[in-house]
Structure formats: structure tokens, C-alpha cells
Structure 1
Amino acid sequence: MDMGMNAVTKDLIERLNVNDQDLMGIDIIVSFIKLSGYKQLEPMLKDALRRSIPVRVLTSTYMNVTEPAALSELYNLLGEGNVRLYNGRAPSFHPKAYFFKSKEKYQSYVLVGSSNISRVALTNGIEWNYQVEASVDQDSYDYYMEQFEYLFKYDSYALDTEKISEYRRTLILPDAERKISRINEHYNKYRQNNNYKKRLSNLFEPNQSQTEALIELKRTKNEGNDKALVVVATGVGKTFLAAFDSMDYKSVLFVAHREEILNQAYDTFAKVRGSEDLGRVFNGYQEVDKKIVFASVQSLSRKEHITKFEFNNFEYVIIDEFHHASSPSYKRIIDYFKPKFLLGLTATPHRLDRKDVFEICDYNVAYETDLFSAINRDWLAPFRYYGIYDGTVDYGKVRYINGRYVEDELSKAVSTDDRSKLIFKHYMKHQRKHTMAFCSSIDHAEYMADYFNSNGIKSVTIHSQISRKYCADRTIGIEKFITGEIEVIFSVDMLNEGVDIPVIDLILLLRPTESPTVFFQQLGRGLRHSAGKRNLKILDFIGNYKNVEMIPFWLSGEVTTDSKKKEEVIKKLIDQENIPVDCYIDFDFEVVNIFKEMIHKKVKIIDEIKELYVSCKEELGHIPSRMEFFESLSDIQYRSIKAQSKVNPFNKYLDFLSTMELGYLSGDFINSDAYKFINMLETTGMSKLYKMPILLAFYNKGSFKIKINKDEVCQSFYEFYQNERNAVDLDRHKNTNNYKTWKKNDYWKLALDNPIHFLCKTHDDIFEYDNMTEIMNIKLNLTSWYKNDFFLYHVEDTIHFRRSNFLDQLLSNKDNKS
């Protein structure tokens, strides 16, 4: 290319440099930005910032072409206020211009033309651009500059992490890109060949979702967080993501509960890291001397195995299928190791899972892409869901204990000739080549396989009882299924996780689906793309079972406690509103009636609370603390409870316990100032977390203090804000977001102006502050109680609950905005 010419038809990137020593600023306006293009520009941008040359970028989400990962990278590099998105009234947004402003105005110029920020547009694509120099055509240069300034200041809004997350969640891939393999075949012949060559030379590179997640994980680590959760739909590539993110760590522990997941992870990490220093702690292996270890939770949680490792043995710990993490065996592992960073992976969205899962990662969801987002962006195949009425089973006659149907009774109820006929009739109506069916038990799976084989459909079961008539070896059975020798696989739980069979094109849900985790796992088995597969069909056989009314909310991703809004969600699904691109949802009218009947079923909220409490107690084996009860609830359950403030047990948990546990509170305690103090902790207003460090200073790690001085308050504030998650209030205000550089008096000013002031004002019968001595004092008579274990237990539990509830509500509110 002739660098002396003003016309540029390729390799624009060679003109975009900061060699001019008098360069004073760079402004860029483009219709869209791709990550590939950002990577081309990044060296130039970093060079400019290193020389303190300001850079501003104006782009758009017009036509959904801009990639969220590119916005994240650009925002993280340029900082707040320097990247803006167009939101003017114009129906389209197509400008492409690169301004280089020099100290001497006549040396300034702008490159105007066709190149957006993508690798092809900046390098070997056919693009026409022209360099307008101020020294030659000052009027044109000035006009372009004025237009940029106006659009940047008045017709755009500043980009931030929240807007990037919102765009990511609502993004729908343009139809032209979704159908790239079905249109323009001749035109794209060169591009496809070129991409194929690129893939051969870079076999293991992050996909779009993994790239976005890696950017967000890097950001959360830079902010000081030492643990995070990533929520990605099944089939998007959680294991490869973990392998890519592990590259900065020398020692890694990967924990899962199934050998299939561990074997896949072992192979994935070996490919990505190119290392042979990998070991296994499962299935009889005890390769504990390796830097990268893959361990089953069953093996590693045993004392004789876990103690072979030092607590700081691993810099990076990954917990796969994190929805299991609250179980005792998982918690034993999580509590034992002290890594530099802990990563949890799950496919179940925050709003649908139990709260204990998110508490373990301190409510820090670094990245989330749900089923809808993954389908809209063509990472997963679209689905056609049919909710089929199944009146052959009366689930009301099957005993329901501890949140589950009794397996033997359920298995008999669903293994009938009438039900099998119904299932087979609909199977034949929707028949495809590769069908996966999920059953309630091994007996049920065997029964269904027998029925289908008797009717000429080659079927096997895959489960743990290999000696059963239709049970196939897992590996052989799946191989025959892929080749078409087997038409249907009936399974129970074994194939919910850790299996990748993209050819699945029909799923039969033959069991009551009571858990969102299982629901998404089973759908995820068939949503992977495969050659010739246009979509996945799902036949869900629905009766009057427990939690059946939750299916519309699992499908829609919407959560509400209002009966009318619940009916609106169902209507939207029936009308095909708010569902992913190319998807279809259909319910038999009898199924819709079941949903509505369950929604309007008059169950007193207090009875529901008591039932949930009893279930939690039975699961734990002891009286639940506030935190334990709170963590056992799903988001929708907690919202239902919170909406009824008069019966919300968390407002006065001690009173609630006294109604549930006879004799739990003694008369002396109920009439004491200790009871009054805990009641204050439960009910004090808290729009921010500022009161927490004060209350923790009084609690003093179990050595309760009646008085706290300036030094103790400042130390408590300092320790509290060492945890990045606690600093959410400080981070979002300009006058406090520099808290990491604060000295003692800065913390003291915050304490005086906020929690000390408001606690003494609102609870003047409990607290007082002396300006002369700079001491805050509890006025209550706690002499008989401040060393009492029962009192200290509830003080600590209440403080823990108030903090966790606050952070959880922030996360829930973030979900609601999207």
C-alpha cells in the first residue's frame, strides 16, 4: 500500500498509529465493534494511553452486530466515560471514522469510509476509506469533528458494566449470521475456507461465551474478589472455560461428583494447557503429587484423602456443577482449601436456584448466560417444547416426603400400560432418529424400554444396574445410539450430567420435573448443535405433580409471586412471546388448567413457611439457624415470604422458633435486654452495609464488647472492606470509591456520618455516643448475657443473615432489571 496516498482500500490498520509526537487525541466512531477488531487496535490504543493521549470511542448496538466481549475489553481499557453508545433518533447508525488530532491543527486528519472495527475490515477485507487532512480540506475536517462532538455529548450514553451485561443478556444474533451456512454459500466460500485454516492452526481457542466470561473473571479478580460463580447454559463449554482461566495458575484442583465429568475435564485441561503434569483422585487413583488434580467429591471429602494435601496446595480451585456445593461433602472440601481463587460453575440461573449455592461464592456472579441467551446467539440449537397432558397418573396418591416422591410408589404409578400407550402415541407422532428419555427410576426405565422394544423401536437403558435386561454398557450403548443402531435411550440420572451427545434431537421427559437444575440439565442434553439438526423437540408429559406450576417460569426465566402476573407469563408463552429465536412452546389446554389451578390454590403463606422450615430441619438434622433456613430457599420462595411482612419469620426469627420449637426460648431470655438487642439487629433499617462494621465491632468475633472506641471502629471498618463484596456501596459513589487508599480518619468520618449517627438516632434506647471520649456504648443491661453462648450464636447469625440478604437482594434486583 502506498502510504502517501489518501485513498485506502485495504490494511487500514497500518494507517492507525500514534507515531506523531504531537498527537493530542484519538476519536473513533463506528457502527459496530468485533472482538477480532479490538485485538487489532489494542496495541495502538495501549500505546496512546501510555503516552497519556486521550481516546474516545462512539459505537452502537445497532442490528446487534457489536460483540459484548469487545465492549467489555474496550471499557476496561479506556475507562468510564470514554466509550459511549449511540441512542439518537436516527433509524440507523452507519458512520466509520478515525480522528487523529494533532497539537498543530493543520496536521490533524480523519480517515472516513467503510471500515468498522473488525479484523477483516481493518486488514484484508475490501474496504474503501479516505484520509481527510485538515491542512487540505479544513472545512470538511471541522464539520466531521463537530458532528462527532455533538453525537458523543448529546446523542449517546456512557457505557458501564451493567449496560454491557444487559446487552449480553438481551442480544439476539442477526438472522444473516445465524443462517450463514444456508445462504450466500458461494460468496462465503473463501471466508469459510479461511476460517477452517484458522481453526487448524488454533485448535483450542475460547468461543464467544468463554471469551466474555474470561474478561469478566479477569475484572472481578482485579477488583480483589477471591471467589466467583459463572452461570452458563449446558452445552456452551464450562469445562473449556475453566481450563482457559486456569492458565495463570501453576496448581489447580478440579472437583466434580461424576467420573464422566472428571474424565472429560482431564482430557480438556491436557489439550488446553499442553501439560502432562495431571493427576486423578477418583476411581482408585491417588495421583496426589501432580500440579493439576482432578478429584471426585466422594474421594476427596474423606479425611484420609484430603489431608494428603496442604490447605494452600492449590492456587486455583474449580467446583463443577456448583448447585451441589452446599452438600456436606462439598463444603468439607471448600472449607479445607484456601486457594488464591475459587471458581464455581453451574447451569442453573440465580433466580431459580437455592440461595446457599450463591452464598458460598459471596453472591459474586461474575458472568451469566442463560438458555435463552445461548439460543438467541446461536450457541445452542432452538427447541420446540410440547407440554402434553398426562391424566393417567394421580400424583396425589403418591406419598411426598422431604421434598421428594417416594421412589417405589412413584415408579409403580408411572409404569402402567395406559401411560406407556400415551407416551408411545406421541413419540410416533414426533419420531426422530435420536431420542433420549428421562425416567423416574431404573424399574421405570426398564419398563419403558420393554414397551418400546415390543412395539418395534430399538431401545436400551443406561443406568447403574448393568445386569438388567435392557441395560447397555454406557460407552457401547452411546456409540450404537450415535450410529443409529439404537433409536431410544431410557435413563434416570446417569446422563443428566457429564455427557456430550450432540445428535440428540428428541427428548422425552417421563418423570415429574420438580427441580430447575434437573430441568435445565435434561434440556441441555439435546441443545448442542449437530450436522443436519435444525432444532430439538421436547415432549414433556405433565400431570398434577408437585411444583408443576413452575414449568412456565423455568421456560420463561421470569420470577413473580403475584397470581395475575403468573397467568400473564403463561399467556405470553402460549402466544410465543419472550421466547428464544426459532423456538416454539405449546401446552395442551388441560395442562394450562393445571397450571392455573395450582397457581390459585389457596395455601396459607404461614403454612407454606412452616412446611419449608420442617423440610429444612429434616434435611439438616437440627434446628436451622437464620442463615441455614434462608439458604435452603429458592429466590421465588423467599420473595413469597418477604412479600408477607407480617408473617416473615426473618423479621423476628426468635419468635418464629418459639412457635415451631416448644420451649426454645426461656422466659428469662424473652424478658431480657438480650432479646431486645437481637430484635434490633433483625429489624434495623439497612439501605447500605455501613452498619455491619459497627455491629461486628460490638460482636468482636465472639468476645462481645459493651463499648467500642475509635480505634476499634476503624479497625472493624478496615477489615470489613478488605472483602471486595462488602464495598458495593463505596464503589458506586464517587466520594468513596477510592476507599482502598483510605487512612484511619477516612473510615472514622464514614462511621460517624452514617452508622453511628443513625444507630444512635433510630435506636436511642439502645445506643449512645460520647463526642468527648469518642466511645459508642450499648445502654442495655447485657451483663448476664454478653458471654452467653445462646446470645452470641444469635448475634452472629443475625449479622451474617443481614449481610447475606443484602447482597442477595442486589443480585436479585440485577436479575429483575434484565
Structure 2
Amino acid sequence: MNLTDIQSKIEDSLANGFVDQKIAGSEELMPQFIHNGPGDTMLLHIERELSHCSSFTFAIAFITEGALTSLKVKLADLATKGIRGRILTSTYLNFNSPKAFQELRKLDNVDVRIAENNNFHAKGYIFDHDAQHYQSAIIGSSNLTEQALMNNYEWNIKFTSYDNGSITEKLIQEVELAWKQATPLTSDWITIYSENYQPVVRAKSNANKIISANKITPNAMQREALNNLSEIRNSGAKRALIISATGTGKTYLGAFDVANFQPKKFLYIVHREQILDKTMDSFRQVLSDEPEDSFGKISGTHRDMDAKYTFATIQTLSKRSCLTQLNPEEFDYILVDEAHRIGGETYQRVLNYFQPEFLLGMTATPERMDDFNLFEMFDHNVAYEIRLQKALDEKMLCPFHYIGITDYEKDGVVSDDTSSLKWLVSDERVDYIIKQTTYYGYSGDCLHGLIFCSRKDEAYELADLMSKRGYPSKALTGETPQSKRDEVVDELEQGKIKYIITVDVFNEGIDIPCVNQVVMLRNTQSSIVFIQQLGRGLRKANNKSYVTVIDFIGNYKNNYLIPIALTGDKSRSADKARDDLEVRQISGVSTVNFSEIAKERIYQSINHTSLDGLTVLRDDYKNLKHRLGRVPLLCDFQKSEKVDCTVFADKCQNYYHFLLKMKEDVHLTAGQEAILSFVSIELMNGKRSVELLLLNELIKHHGIFAKRNLKTLMTKQQIFYNTDVSRSVERVLSLEFFQKAAKKKYGNEPVVLIEDGIYQLNTKIIDWLENDALFNSLLTDAIHVGIIRANKYNQDEQFTLYHRYNRKDVCRLLCWDSDTSSTIYGYRVRDHECPIFVTYAKSDQIDSSINYQDRFINADTFQWYTRHNVKLDSKEVTNIKDSQTTIRLFIKKNDDEGKGFYYFGEVQVKETEQQEFQVKDDKVEPIVRMILQLDDSAQYDKYLLFEK
């Protein structure tokens, strides 16, 4: 690219931003206003600029450790490419902590200086592009803090200037002058600063409880759970289960409910003695009016059998010599902590012995790997459920910064599922681990780390090697006695050791609030275990504003589980898993960061894994059946967000087929199954709800429903509906829309007929509905779940921005007479509609005759090519350019992403140009290049998905 080209592009981009937005500028050069809106945060813009710059300079007054942690992966990737930067910051208002300056010193490819004048309050991010002779800058209100980069309502302007532009010259002069006058950041400087540093006092919140003048009161989550428990008891229920993520105040919730219940005698059962005292203290705070001697323990050293509030370890309580001292009706309220353990023999012995008025179980992980039905034990009464994402949203947990980086690699070899111990504890790998954990750091003044590894011998060897390198560490395994575990945990809390290295021992049931760094040196076994291990660091604690989670990602077949676990996605959809991989912000200031190589490994794992395999679906089905106490319906899956209902249609054509695979005693005729497949495959996705609502009304009204009433219903529910939609719905439900093979699969008979303005359900279907309870249940379930799923879409419009649609979906929603999806290929002009389907990254194996350079020019403009052998004056191009033609743009990243395309909205033809296209054997054919203007600017995070 010559200088004239880049100058011209900058001129167009500036004109777009400041003169006329119809002038097409290049996205990377256009002025932009950034205020932290949906899908468009300051963090995204900074990362994007870093990805394309040759060097950078940040002039930022305030910097926090957490914000640096969010950028460290990107900065590390830049370091591997030899790209350096500068950060100029300050001591203004004593905002920046000594620890933040220490973290800045860890950035090998970043030079840091301190402006020590008392009025340095700059907030500017400058990115050099030496090869193209321009600079981009973002200047405004955002400091380098988590809130300013992601959550706060900020005002920032991004702009670009050529090297000889006056604004660039002035900006460079100011930066260089400030840099020259600033003091280099050194260890000695930090030592002096630390001696004189007075930290800024910031308000702290405690989401687990609200403290009034006299006593602790429930927070919003606890109030809702308490109301549900009261309603369950009022209904006559004797048992209930609370599902609540670690750190969300389960103990206080239990105490509040006991206070409401006012038992004559209460029993709290735990599985570890060392948490008894903490639990008792929590209850004492809530039950502050009770005398001290009301509280007692039954444990290895205590036998307080007469206490009103008794706290017992299961190990002691389950002994027959202990049980026989207590009456089976001794306690009218029993609470079991870590209730997922109650399938064990000791728990069963205790719970079969006692006969309380009410039994409450509490657990963070009700899912079981064995066949024990936890939900049945509590009569399927789930009083309340709060999982990780909701707990983060409610600010009950400590935020986290997840760092996904590649494991140690040498000569192209990296850790995998079969790595030997010699490889896992090699000096090179241990040095690499220490280098990365040191670089990504932790919140607070002292490291309290927890490392999960894959094998016992690895844990012991790794603890020894890290200790020898100056990081005192101890290994704990399943073989370690409980007393030793308690001793080691105490050493970690006191800072005597830096790391506990374990093999799954601390997946659950351990409370170490001080943990500020979690390191994963093993394959992700399951989403459940991943969240359990992540959760070890999420308890709030003094001197800890976030937890750093460092995941060393090797060539593991289960890598696909990582984004699924982080986002809480249980849909079993590969498309959704790929979307999860792009998520950068989980909740609040919790972030997800993958190095480029690690991200590619996960992407390949998703592509090579059957997320909807029958084995995993069987597990999901069994877990939900246990929870409900009956055969689940699709609505149950959808409401509980366990599996996307469309997975069953894709995998088995209908849910009936799946139930057969689950060995359920069900039977439908071939005709019934054909109708069920039709609704499941074609309608249940909810992308248009009209057919579903019409079928629902026909079933409710014994097979008869007036056309005028459907129009009234659509108007009332504000659903997109016109004459074309009415005609399309009739062709879909009569099966006329479908090709011959599909008609045969769906029974070859109309599902719905229309006569004299009256819709009539096929009489066979009416008969089946009235006389076959199973068919009635499965068909109405498929219809209802489709209506539920329709809430994901804007039903008052034909299409919803940034949702996925395949070619057949588009044919139906555009109200075309028939399904021509098999012959659409890149685009089709029909009935004044032109959907364009773009596969952004063409495969290396793709035929050169269709390898066009379709791409975003900027978030408002898309460059698109027609098929080759097409001229400007052809009927095809004329029809596309016709003002009556509506053009819609659908894009997917590559062919790995299945049949679905993201919808980017309607576009207008802005420019057309006749060009020549090189095809096989040096043959040249005409082709038309079009510049398309998007009616709705592409949301920034979606635009970044496709930026080359």
C-alpha cells in the first residue's frame, strides 16, 4: 500500500466521522465514540488496536492490577511478535498501589515511567502503525481500571492521524516531553514509594449479608429462598434442597430459615470437623438472642447431646454408639451441608434413623456421577438455585480473571492426555509454570495459591521442585490424613507456604477465602469439576479484589469444555460453544482471556467433538429425570436450560426417538411420528412463532380456528404478520412448501387445511390427540417448547440481528412458496428479496472460481462479489439493485460452523463496479463488485469476529 492510498483512506474515514457518515471509511481508521455499551467496551477497542499496532504508548493516571491482568495475555502475545510499548502513569492522589507498579515491572515488552508531578491526570492510549505511517489514539475518560474498561459509563473518542498531521505532531510532542521528564520505574523507586504510600480507602460491600445496627439480616437472594422454603413447608412438604454456588451465603441462609422455623431442637450435619466452629459462629450471629449454652457439638472430641442447636460431623454422628443415645424424633429440623454426599452409607444410616419434621439439604453441585438420586431424597423439592453466573451477577462472589494459555511446549510437543511424569515435572516445564504464574500474578500482598494437577506423583514431585525454586509448596492427595490437610491449609492461610498442590482433593467442601490464584495443570475432566475448582478462589476476603485463574491448556480432547464451563452453557450446541469461546466478559469485571494458540486448540477441540453425543445426552436426561421424579419433557429441558431442545431434533428427529434410545416404554405409530418430526425439525426452533401459535390454538379449539382470529392474535402479541406470512404459514402447514423427500418424511398429508377462512387440523391428528395421551403430550410439548424458544427472537420482525439462520430458515421466513435452500448457494433474488450468504474465511481447498474477497470494510460497509460470469447490465444485477429489492446479509466465519449464518440485517447497494475474475486455466470471466451499506452498524464484538 503506498502513501497516497493510506492518506486517502484516512481522509474518507475522517469525513465519515465528522462530515458525512455515507462516505465509506475503513473501520480501523474511522473516528469512533466509545462508552461501554452492549458488545462495545473500551477493553475490546484497546485489545483490537494492540492486535494491529507496531508499538504503543499509554498515558494513564490510574491503573489497577485487575485491569493489567485483563491485558496481560494480549501483551504476552505481542511480546512473542517482538512488539513493544510504553506506559506513562502517575502517583496522582496515591491511587496506584505499590503492587500495581510491581505488576507493571513484570511486562518485559513494556517500558514504564512515572510522571511525578501532582496534576498528571491523562487518559490516552496511542497505537503506532509504522508500516502505514499513521497513529490511532483513544482519548477520553477511561483510566486503566476494570470498571472504566468494561462497566462504567465513559466517554472516549478514537481517532486516526497521518504522520504529518498537525494533531499527530502535537500529540507526539506532548507524549515525548512528558516521557522525557518522567522517572523510569525501578525496584528502588517502588521501595521508596511503598514507604510513603497511604492507600486510598474504598468502600467494601458484603453481598452475603446485610448488617443493621443490631443484627444480621438476609440479602435479596436469601429472602427469595426463605420465602420459597416457607411456601414449600406450607404445602405440607417435609424436605427441600437448596442449590447454591460456593460463597453465596448458604450457611447464613440456613440459619435464617432455622430462625423462621423455631425448632425445639436442631441438627446441622457436616462432613469435616474443621468447619464446625465457623458454622456455629454464623448461627450464633443470626440467633443472637439464644444463650451461649444453646449451641453444642457432636464430633471426635465433643458429645453435647442436650444442646438446642447441635452441630455434628457425619463421622461421629453415624457411629451406632452415638446414634443410640439420641431419640429418632430428637430433632424437628435437620440441615445437611454438602448434601450431594448423602448417598454414602454413613449419611444413609443417619437419615434413615432420624424422623425430623423438616429436612433441608444444601449443595453447590447436585449433579451426581453415580446413580444415586439426590433429588428423590428431598422429594424433588428444589427451593432455590443460584449458580456461578447468577452469583457473580449478584456480586456475591469475588470476581475472577481467567487466563487460558498454552502448556509448556518443546520441539512441537505439548502436554496431552498421555504425558509421562518425566515430562510433567521436567525442569523446563516447572520453570515455565513459575514464569507464567509469576507474570499473571494475584490480587493482594501475599500469594495464596492452589494448584490442581493430574496425578499424585506429579503433585508430590511438583511441590518439591517448586519449593526448591523459592515457592514453598505442599502436596495433598486423597491419601493425606485429614489432620495433615488441616495443618497444610492453615500454613497456606498464614502465608508459611505459597501453594497447595492437589489432585482433586479440594474440588469441594473446603473453605479457604484467602486463595487468590488458582492454577490448573490438568485436563478439564468435566464442567462440574472445572467450576468446583474455579470456585475454590471465589470467596470474598480482605485484601483480595479478584482471583487469578491460570489454565495451562495442552492438547487435551476435552478442551471444548472450557468455554462451556465458564459461561455455564449446557445447550450441547456446537454453534453456542463457538460463541462461548468469544466471550470476554462473564459478569461485572470477571474476564476470560485466551492466548492465540490456546484459543485455536479449544476451537479445534469443539470442531472435532460431538457435543450432542448420545452418551452426554443420556447423562443430561438421567440427571433431569432424577430432579423431576418423572420422565422429562422438552419443556423441562428448555426451562432448566439443560439442553437446547433443537439438539434432540438434530440428533434424533424428534423427542420420541430419543425416549426410545433411553429405553422408555413408549410407542407411536409411523404417522404420529411423522407429524412429531415435522413440528420438531421445522417449527420448534422458534424462529417464527406463527405456525406454533396457530397449532396451539387449533389443539385448544378442537381442530377449528378462524383465520381472522389468528390475525387478531398476532396483532395482540405484536408478532410480525401480513398477507405474505399468512400465505407462507398455510403452505408450510399444508407441506406444499417442502420438497418431495421432506413431504414424504412428514406423512405426505397436510397438517392443517383451510376452507372458507377457517383453519382445520387434520382429522387424523385430532383423533390421535383425543385418544393417545403419549402423542398428545409429545406434540403439545414440542409446540410449547417452540413458543418458549421464540422468546429468544424479536417476533415483531422477520429476523433478529446476530442470531443464526440456515438457508431453509431464510426461505421460510422470507415467505417464499417453496424451500429452494439446496440451490441458493451464495445468494438468490426472488420476490423482491435477496438474501446473501457469506462464508467469511474460505477453505484452502475451495475452488478458485468461488474464492471471492467478501469482507467488511468497516462496521457499516461490506464488500461483496456476485458469482463470476455476471455483468453490470445483467438481469441478476439489475434485480439486486432494484429499489424494490430488500437485501439481507448473513455471514458465518467458516465451514466448520455448520449451516447457521449470523444475520447482520438489511443492506443497501452503495456502489457497483465491473471487474474481471481469474478462474481455472488462466480463464478470465466478468464479476460484479458491490459495496453494501448496512442499515444497522455491526455491533463491535460481532464485527471483530470477522475482522481479518
- The two structures have a TM-score, normalised by structure 2, of 0.42
Q: Which has the higher strand share?
A: 2
Report 1 or 2 for greater relative contact order, CA contacts < 8 Å, sequence distance ≥ 6. Answer: 1
Which has the higher Rg, Structure 1 or Structure 2? 2
More helix by proportion, 1 or 2?
1
